Amino acid sequence: MPPRRRLTQTEQDHFVEVETFADGLSKQYLLCRTYGHSWQPHRAGRVRDVSGHPTAAWEQTLRCKCRVKRTMLLNSEFDIVVSKHDYRDAPGYLTEGIGRITGHSKAALRKVAIMRLIAAEEAA
């Protein structure tokens, strides 16, 4: 494996910020942040126009255990046209002031998840 490049100070600072953020997450939020959402069907139906008549479009909403919802607008061929996430039922899930968690900063999530797992195993 080739040696890793040295992280910039900004990357190191962001790692620490994400690690601190992750320390405060609930178990379910940390699992979703680290490994991705586990979507389950929640609702589905035809999209209706302003007068209430069904259109050729469909809408499906999925929900994760962390309470985040994903709503997809589908065309008549069931291709996804638009997809959006709703975090209103998941207070504390979104990062405030530290930006998106990408690249090496995702390792901070994995670190916290692994340390919690080890602590739980040792306590058992």
Residue ranges covered by each domain of the chain? 1-25+93-124, 38-91
Residue 96 pLDDT grade (very low, low, confident, very high; cuts 50, 70, 90) = confident
Rounded percentage of the chain residues whose pLDDT exceeds 90: 81
Q: How confident is the model at residue 46 (pLDDT cuts 50, 70, 90)?
A: very high
Q: Answer whether residue 82 shows pLDDT above 80.
A: yes
In which element (H, E) is residue 32 found?
helix 27-35
Nearest to 21 by CA among 75, 88, 101, 117: 101
3-state secondary structure 53-103: CEEEEEEEEEECCCCCEEEEEECCCCCEEEEEEECCCCCCCCCCCCCCCCH
CA-CA distance, 45 to 63, in Å (whole number)? 15
Residue 119, classed as helix, strand or coil, is: helix
Q: In which element (H, E) is residue 22 found?
A: helix 9-23
